[in-house]
Amino acid sequence: MKRRIVIVGGGIAGIAAAVRVAEAGCTPIVIETRKRLGGRATSFVDPRTDELLDNCQHVVMGCCTNLLDLYDRLGVLELIDWHRTFYWTDGGGRIDRMQAGKLPAPLHLLGSMKRMTVLNRDERRAVARCMFRIVRLGGVGRQKWAGRTFDTFLKEHAQPQSAVDRFWNVVVVSACNLDVSCVDAAAALHVFQEGFLANKWSYMMGLPVVPLVDLYDTANEIIAQHGGELLLSTSAKSIGFDGRRVTGVVTGDGLIDASAVIAAVAPDRLAKLVSELLRKADARLQSLEEYTFSPILGVHLKYTSSIMDVPHLTLVDAPNGTQWLFNKSYADLECTVQHIHAVVSAADEWMELDEAAIVERVADDIQHALPKSVGLRPIGARAVKEKRATFAATPAVQRLRPPCAPGFVGLGGGGVENLFLAGDWCDTGWPATMEGAARSGYAAAAAATEKGGLVEDVPAGLLARVLGLRGVGAQG
């Protein structure tokens, strides 16, 4: 008899867990509330236009080895289009290009950063000095900054406020969905060390060329091939517990019994699935209500003429605070309507605005950034607010993140032996990202089946290691 493992949640973490559970020779049963897979990284049909839209642009980086491995297993790796140039503007149509040059990591971006006009000479020098300090810290030094905010780190390293506003915060808000004044310093340092400094190709940006939901089509086949089942439109109501072990998952149709359960839902959802008895038995379940979250806003806009010539653009100091533009029509040379997707992370101030006000503001920022759009208004728009887009990686929340595996009961942090946790909020060492979710799914599946494990990180380059980036790329 194959072991049956029930996975609650069909987001990236649940999909990653299911694929690896199946490959380990066990039977995965995936329970997902919604009609489709992908969780927060998925698509929806816009009822106004019947168009399939992503809830928000999702970006993958070269350092996301576990997510890329998952895409490979799902057979969709070639649906990711890779970009080695980041485009930046502070308005007026002036566009800087940040890309790797000939120098090895961690110096590969230096040449293009020297030419960036969004920073003046003093700001560029300050950023370069601080980057060197971040290299020298290595992985061990980074961990010593856990528990303090990243702006404390930046102040200690004499960063002028203008460099914070025009560079550090721009990167940190995009990657961690939190301002430098709130984000845990170790979490932010992780982004720079792993994403930008350790390896020449880690910073590269991958964008799916299909709607996000299409990336998960083959998951159902993999699950079914191994005798498993994907139960869409089915909600878990509770996790069964006999006082010692979890027994399965209760849905509207009764208990689905299992030899192990992988809970791959957000902490606030998990809180609703566990009894008091189960909570008391598992140290990882004690703080589920203490997580705070940070919102992201995505806005789809349609223009009747081509207003944007680059595939994506980072906006520095946009008057209303729009941060990214993605040109969704970039590959379509014959398009008559250009589809622009605007993104605002840490979007607290936007959450109370109605769609008309949001579109007005974003369209103004687009005019500021792209001269070709001056005088034009979008002919169609759809704003998507995700109030609980990601957990807020503050020092307080970072401390709460639990391991995926139960560990040893009685040694602090112990848990119920056949309950495994997954989700971007678990302690993977990564920010709240698809990579964090994929890592957690792989880690939970490995612990539950005692087979498989995480994929190797991209190794730090030789010069990066010699200069101090040792212990970076260590598995979370």
Binding interface with ligand FAD (CB under 6 A): 8-14, 31-34, 39-41, 55-56, 58-59, 235-236, 264-266, 269, 296, 298, 386, 389-390, 423-424, 432-437
Q: Record the tokens describing residue 250, joined without a space.
A: 């209760």
CB of 346 to ligand FAD, least distance (A): 11
Question: What is the distance between the alpha carbons of residues 382 and 433, in angstroms, rounded to a whole number?
Answer: 23
Q: If DSSP codes are grouped into helix, strand and coil, which group holds residue 161?
A: helix
CB of 18 to ligand FAD, least distance (A): 11
CB of 241 to ligand FAD, least distance (A): 16
Backbone angles phi and psi of 197, in degrees to 5? -115, -30
Nearer Cβ to ligand FAD (307/437):
437
CB of 230 to ligand FAD, least distance (A): 11
Question: What is the distance between the alpha carbons of residues 63 and 232, in angstroms, rounded to a whole number?
Answer: 31
H-run or E-run covering 46:
strand 43-46
Nearer Cβ to ligand FAD (55/329):
55
Backbone angles phi and psi of 169, in degrees to 5? -70, -35
Q: If DSSP codes are grouped into helix, strand and coil, which group holds residue 313?
A: strand
CB of 9 to ligand FAD, least distance (A): 3
Nearer Cβ to ligand FAD (119/173):
173
Nearer Cβ to ligand FAD (139/298):
298
Render 235-268 in DSSP notation, one character per residue: ---EEEE-SSSEEEEEETTEEEE-SEEEE-S-HH
Nearer Cβ to ligand FAD (8/118):
8
Question: What is the distance between the alpha carbons of residues 230 and 347, in angstroms, rounded to a whole number?
Answer: 34
Nearer Cβ to ligand FAD (265/363):
265
Nearer Cβ to ligand FAD (373/433):
433
Nearer Cβ to ligand FAD (330/465):
330
CB of 279 to ligand FAD, least distance (A): 16
| Most distant pair of Cα atoms in the chain: their distance | 67
Nearest to 267 by CA among 429, 476, 423, 434: 423
Question: What is the distance between the alpha carbons of residues 369 and 350, in angstroms, rounded to a whole number?
Answer: 20
CB of 101 to ligand FAD, least distance (A): 25
CB of 335 to ligand FAD, least distance (A): 23
Cβ atoms of 473 and 460 within 8 Å: the answer is yes
Cβ atoms of 5 and 21 within 8 Å: the answer is yes
